[in-house]
Structure 1
Amino acid sequence: MLVVVSGAIFLEGIDIGMLNVALPAIRADLGLSTATLSGIVSAYVLGYGGFMLLGGRAADLLGRRRMFVVWLGVFLVFSGLGGFADGGGVLLLARFVTGVAAAFLTPAGLSVLTTTFPQGPRRDRAVLVYSGIAAGGFSLGVVAGGLLAAVGWRWVFFAPVALAAVLLAAAVRVLPRDPARPAKRSGFDLAGAVTVTAGMVLLVYGVVRLEHPRDGTPTTAGVLAAGAALLTLFVAVERRSASPLVRLGILRSSPLVRANLGAALLTSSFFGFQFVVTLYLQELRGWSSLETGLALLVLGADVVLAPLLTPVLVRRFGNVRVVLGGFVIATVAYVLFLGVGAEWPYAAMLPSFALLALAIGLTYGPLVSAATDGVQAEEQGLAGGLVNTSFQLGAALGISGVTAVQVAALGAATSASALLASYQAALVVPAVAAAAGVVVALAGVRAGRDR
C-alpha cells in the first residue's frame, strides 16, 4: 500500500517536472504563443490548487480508496490526451483536468496512508518515506523530461500513462477497502463546495497573474479580491450549515496552522529558487535543458535522506525541532547563492544545492506529519487537502514573487550584467521566505515548551 500511494505522489511530481523542461519543444512543434505556453502551466495549477480542498473532503465523505482509484484513472486518460494534442486548446484542457485529478488523488492517497498506519513512529516513518519520494519526483522529473524531450515531447505525456496504469492495477488489489457508510447520511454541503472551489480557483488564478505584472494590476487585484470574498462567504456558509464541508474548528489547532504556514513557506522558497536558477543556467549561461536537469539532480537526494536520516532525528528531537533545523539550513543555502556570478563554476553552486536537498529532506515530511497528527480519522482527507493546498499555493506565490521582482529589477535593460543583477534581486525572495519559516518553527518550539 505504501509503495502504491508513494508511487502516485511520485507520479504527480515527475509529471510536473517533465512538462516544465519540455515546454520549449512543445512550443517549437505546435507554434504556440507565449500566453498559451504559460497557460499550459497555469491550467494545471488552477485545477490542482482550486479543487484540492474539495478533493480532500471528498475522500472523507465518498471513500478514500474510491477517490484514489477513480481519479488515478482520470489522470491516466487526460495525460494520454495531452500526448495526442495537435494544438494549444487540447493541451490546456488536458492539463486542467489532470490538475483536478491530482487534486482529488493526492489527499485521498495521503489519507489512506495516515488512516492505515496508527499514529506514532510507524506512521511517522511511512509519512517520511512518502514525502521523500514526493519531493524527489519533481527533481527526477526535470532530468527525465530532458531525456524524453530529446526523443519527442509527446513522451513526456505518455510516460506517466504507463506508470499510472501500473499503479492503478496495483491499487485495485492492495488498497484497503472503504468502510461501509452509514445508512443515514447528512446532506451534501453544495453551497460550501461551490464557494470554496470558486474562491480557491480565483485566488490561485490571481496569484498566477502576479507573474505577469504588465498584464494589468487592477485586474489581478480584482481577481484576488473576488477570491477572498468567496472564501469569506464560504466561512459564513460553513458556520450555518448543518453538515459543513469543512469543520471550521479544525483551523483552531495552532500546530496545524503553523504546519500549513510552514508548508507554504517551504515550497514558496524552494520553487522560487529553482525557477530563478533554471533561468540563470539556461538564459545567462546557455546551458541546455538536459544539462540544467543534471545540474539540479542533487536536489533529488532528499528521496534518500527523508526515509533514512529524518526518522532518526524526528524520534530524537520531534517534528518541530527538525523542521526548525531544516529551515535554518535552507536559509543558509539561499544566502550562499545570493553572490552568484556570471561565470560561477558548478562547484560554487553545489554547496547550496546539497544543503537545500538536506533542508527539504528535513522539513517536507515532518510538516506533513505535523499537519495530520491529532486529526480524527474522518477528517484525515481534509487535513491532507489543507496541507497540499498550502504546498501548492506556496509554490505559486514563490514563482510569482521571484518573477515580479526579476522583471521589475530588469526593466528595459537587455545586457548580461543587468540580467544577472535581476536574478540576484529575485534570489532575495526565497531567502526571506525561508527566514520566515525559521520564525514560524521557533514559535512552534516555544509553544511546545510552554505546554
Structure 2
Amino acid sequence: MTLSTTPRGTGSAPADGRWSPALRWLLLVLAGNMLIDALEVSVALVALPAIGADLGLAVSQLHWVVSGFAIGFGGLLLFGGRVVTLLGRRPVYLAALLVFCVASVVGALADSAALLVATRFVKGFCAALTAPTGIAIIASTFPEGPARGRALSVYSLFGASGFSAGLLLSGALTEVSWRWTFAAPAPVALLLFVAGLRLIPRDRPGPGKPHGCDAAGALSLTGAMLSLVYAIGSGPGAGWDHPRTVGAFALAALLAAVFVRVELTAGQPLLRLELFAHGALVRSALGAGALNGSYLGLLLVSTLHLQQRAGWSPLQTGLAFLPAAAPLALTALRSGRIVARFSPAPLIAAGALAAPLGYLLYPRDGSAAVHYATDVLPTMLLVGAAFVLAFTAFHIQATGAVPDGRQQAAGGLYQSAVQLGAALMTALCAALYPVGIDAALWLITAVGLFGLAVALVGFVPRKGAPSGAPASPDERKPHVE
C-alpha cells in the first residue's frame, strides 16, 4: 500500500524544501500525536504514589500503570503494523486517535486498578498503531530531500519533548488529583482527530498487501509478556514458590514457545526470525531495552523514594527528573548529525557507560535525608547524557544493520524491545523496592552494566575480518539528511 504524495488538502513542498501551509498543519497533527504518546509514560510515573493511595494498590502492583501501557505498545507494535497495512493508514490512524481519547477519559474516571490498567493497555495499542504510521505518512507525503528531513526532525523533537512535558504536567496536575493527569490528553487527542479528518491523506491501494494479520503470533507474544509481568508482580505477595506464581512463569514460557513456533511456520509472520542473524540489530535492541528499562526503573524507584520517604511533592519530583529528560529534547534536532559525525558504536558505548555510573551515585539509604544537588542531580545529569549520546545512535544502528527493504521490520523489532524492556524492569523494580531501595538500585545498575557489555561487543573484530576492519556494519557512518 502506498500513499499519494499529493493527497487532497495537503499539497506538496516546493523544490527548495519549504512546506506548504497544508503540510505544516499535517505535520502538526502527526507530531502532536507523537507528543501525547511519549507523554503517556512520564505522566504515570510521577502520579504512582497518589494512584496507589487512592486505589489501595501495594507497591508491587503499582508498576501495572506503567507496564500495562508498555506491553500494549511493545507487545502489539508488530501486529499494529500489519493491521495498518491491511486496513489502511488513514482509517486506522483516525480510529486509534478516537479510541485513545475515550480510553483517557475512562482511565481518569476508573475506580478500580483493573479498569485503569486496561485503559493503559488500550492506549499502548493505540500508540503502537499511530507512532510508526506517523513516520510512514511523513515519508509518503513530504518529498524526499530537505523537506522530508526537517519534517522527521520535528516529529522526533515532539516525541523527545513529550516525556519532559509529561513530567511537568503530571507534577502539576497530581497536586490537584492524579485523575487529571490521565484526562488531560483526551481533549488534545480529540482535537487531533478532528483536524486529522481533513488533513490525514487518503490511502491508495498498492501491491504486496499481506493475506493475514498473524493474530496467533500477536496473542502469544502479548500473552507471554503479560504472564511474565504478572508472575513478577505476584511473587512478593503470594510467594515465589506459590502455584499461582510458578504457573504464571510456566504459562509465559509456553506462550513464548508458541510464538516462536507460529513465526517459524506462518506464511507471513509478524517477526521474521532471520533478523536475529544481524548482530548490530540484536545489540541495538538489547542495549536500548536495557537503557530504557533501567531508566524507567530508576524513575519508578526514585518517585516512590522521594514522595513516600523524603516527603517531596509530585511537582518537586517531576522537576527533579527534568535534567534526565530535557537534554534529549534539547538536542533532538541535532542528534542525527552527531551520529553521522561520530558513528553509532562509540556514542552507544559512551552512553552505556554514563548510565550505570549515574545509577551508582543514587543514594542507597532510603531513610537518610535527601539533598538534591548531591544525591539526585548527578544521577539525573549522567542519565540525561546517556540518552543524548546513545538513543538516536541505537535506532540508526538498528535500522542500518539490515539490507534495504528490511528497515521497517528491524525498526519494529527494535521498538518492541525498547517497550518490553520498560515493562519488565518496572515490574522487577516494584517487586524489589519493598525489600529495600538498595536491592532495586543494584538491579538497575546491573542492567545498566549489561547494556555496557552489549555495547562493547560491537568493538570485537569479526572472525576472519582483516586487521582494522569494523566489527560490524553499524560502525559505518550513516547518512543523515
Partner residue in 2 for 1:255 = 280
The aligned amino acid for 1:300 is A
Q: Deviations over 1:203-253 (max 9, x none)?
A: 233124314423242433432332333332333333333333333333322
**Counterpart selection for 2:424 from 369, 378, 397:** 397
In the alignment, is the contact (CA less than 8 A) between 2:306 and 2:312 conserved in 1? yes
Partner residue in 1 for 2:232 = 210
Partner residue in 1 for 2:93 = 68
In the alignment, is the contact (CA less than 8 A) between 1:135 and 1:302 conserved in 2? no
RMSD: 3.3
Matched, 1:311 2:333: no
Cα shift at 1:188: 0.9
SS state of the match for residue 368, structure 1?
A: helix
Q: Against the structure 1 CA distance between its residues 132 and 56, is the aligned structure 2 distance closer, same or farther, given a 3 Å change threshold?
A: same
Partner residue in 2 for 1:155 = 180
Q: Deviations over 1:417-444 (max 9, x none)?
A: xxxxx22332122222222212222222
The aligned amino acid for 1:200 is T
In the alignment, is the contact (CA less than 8 A) between 2:46 and 2:303 conserved in 1? no
Matched, 1:429 2:443: yes
- Greater helix content: 1
Matched, 1:224 2:280: no
**Counterpart selection for 1:356 from 369, 383, 386:** 383
Q: Which blocks of at least 5 consecutive residues in structure 2 are unaligned?
A: 1-25, 462-468, 473-481
Q: Against the structure 1 CA distance between its residues 373 and 224, is the aligned structure 2 distance closer, same or farther, given a 3 Å change threshold?
A: farther
Q: Deviations over 1:73-97 (max 9, x none)?
A: 2111211222344555543443332
The aligned amino acid for 1:449 is P
The aligned amino acid for 2:76 is F
Q: Kindly report which structure 2 residues correspond to 1:227-376, keeping only aligned pairs within 5 A, or say none.
A: 227-338=252-363, 342-348=368-374, 349-373=376-400
Distance in 2 (CA, whole Å) between partners of 1:74 and 1:254 is 38
Cα shift at 1:261: 0.8
In the alignment, is the contact (CA less than 8 A) between 2:46 and 2:170 conserved in 1? yes
Matched, 1:383 2:397: no
Q: Kindly report which structure 2 residues correspond to 1:59-98, keeping only aligned pairs within 5 A, or say none.
A: 59-88=84-113, 90-98=115-123
In the alignment, is the contact (CA less than 8 A) between 2:86 and 2:209 conserved in 1? no
Which of 308-317 and 345-354 deviates more?
A: 308-317
Q: Against the structure 1 CA distance between its residues 252 and 361, is the aligned structure 2 distance closer, same or farther, given a 3 Å change threshold?
A: same
**Number of matched residues?**
434
The aligned amino acid for 1:188 is G
**Counterpart selection for 2:47 from 11, 17, 22:** 22
Cα shift at 1:390: 0.9
Matched, 1:201 2:223: yes
The aligned amino acid for 2:394 is L
The aligned amino acid for 1:403 is A
Cα shift at 1:131: 4.8
Q: Against the structure 1 CA distance between its residues 58 and 254, is the aligned structure 2 distance closer, same or farther, given a 3 Å change threshold?
A: farther
SS state of the match for residue 154, structure 1?
A: helix
Q: Against the structure 1 CA distance between its residues 365 and 450, is the aligned structure 2 distance closer, same or farther, given a 3 Å change threshold?
A: closer
In the alignment, is the contact (CA less than 8 A) between 1:132 and 1:302 conserved in 2? no
In the alignment, is the contact (CA less than 8 A) between 1:57 and 1:379 conserved in 2? no
In the alignment, is the contact (CA less than 8 A) between 1:59 and 1:381 conserved in 2? no
In the alignment, is the contact (CA less than 8 A) between 2:172 and 2:314 conserved in 1? no
Q: Against the structure 1 CA distance between its residues 131 and 179, is the aligned structure 2 distance closer, same or farther, given a 3 Å change threshold?
A: same
Q: Which blocks of at least 5 consecutive residues in structure 1 are unaligned?
A: 411-421
Cα shift at 1:270: 0.4
Distance in 2 (CA, whole Å) between partners of 1:353 and 1:347 is 10
**Counterpart selection for 1:449 from 444, 447, 470:** 470
Cα shift at 1:68: 2.6
